Structure 1
């Protein structure tokens, strides 16, 4: 765990169906709605890639997050979930903040000793994981969120979230594209014209 970051950070934003949003560039839309492995795509965009584990442990999850991972009749019990938060870096720039809500049962079986391994490497190489439809978010005032990650910017950020079903269990993976992410490449060009 990286002690220079506060854990958990959380994602202080509301999520909705992609149709509810006007995404400002085709490049960003492609990054938000691409169903392949984000980890592999990021790796293809840089010379050096690494992951910083901000933390992973049993922790409170929001009621809204619980609605995405619960099974019928399941009660909100923090012991049944682990929160995992990471930063994904490309060429020494933080590109993506990811927050996952993982069933404790998975942490004790398929995800033992995950540490700094990207979650995507396990999910996308295992046919038992089925991705459910995306939800998106946009953070108009991201300054407080970014300051927790030691990033200074007031840029509007975009994120995506999807639940994965796995043998009767569900987990969520939420990803926020940070200011230096290649997802915003077109928008930076547009801003300088």
Structure 2
């Protein structure tokens, strides 16, 4: 099953889109606490992680740029030239990529994709390779040395996730966010897409 393509998403700093985010989603997208803990609270503990895939892959150009896991090239280079340059040095850019669905109340509510560069998987950070079906958020927010960077947010068609879902979306919109987490000053990228089915299902709405 192919990866979902996030490469063309117009990611923007959260302050840029804050007023454009629909009210039901704004609180979710801008909440800097543990998403895992919040979902467990909202759904009375009815929470599990369904792993779609977890393995070694090449991050997208957008992810490499977001991670700053590359050398800056000349401003005159095109995106295609940059992407080709990055991929030509792919051995140093490979990452452990994990895609999951967060299932709450028996239904998928969030799609999450984490990108862990191999250069970040040193020391105790290598425990991230052994998560299995455990939530990444619990590991991150229980780590005493963790810090989190600012959010970027974007909207996208929810039907992009249909290959992973039993019940399909048509014209609904999903909202997503991404941020960098730092463990021992090593960065990992976490992207969380809030599926339309989350809205209207919790007590909050």
* Paired position in structure 2 for 1:106: 121
- 1:13 and 2:15 correspond: no
Matches within 5 A, 1:54-93: 54-71=52-69, 73=71, 77=90, 80-93=94-107
* Structure 1 segments of 4+ aligned residues over 4 angstroms from their partners: none
Cα RMSD, aligned residues only: 2.4
The one-character-per-residue Cα deviations of 1:81-117 (angstroms, maximum 9, x if unpaired) are 1110000011101000000101225287231311101
Deviation at 1:19, TM superposition (A): 2.3
9-18 or 154-163: which moved more?
A: 9-18
The alignment partner of 1:117 has SS state of: coil
* TM-score, scaled to structure 1: 0.82
The alignment partner of 1:112 has SS state of: helix
45-54 or 32-41: which moved more?
A: 45-54
- Provide the rounded CA distance (Å) in 1 between the counterparts of 2:110 and 2:67: 22
Q: Which consecutive residues of structure 2, in runs of 5 or more, have no partner in the other structure? A: 73-85
Deviation at 1:62, TM superposition (A): 1.0
The alignment partner of 1:36 has SS state of: coil
**Aligned partner (choices 37, 41, 44) of residue 44 of structure 1:** 41
Q: Rg larger in 1 or in 2?
A: 2
Deviation at 1:71, TM superposition (A): 4.2
Q: Which consecutive residues of structure 1, in runs of 5 or more, have no partner in the other structure? A: 1-5
* Paired position in structure 2 for 1:127: 144
* TM-score, scaled to structure 2: 0.78
Deviation at 1:13, TM superposition (A): 2.3
- 1:94 and 2:89 correspond: no
- Provide the rounded CA distance (Å) in 1 between the counterparts of 2:70 and 2:57: 21
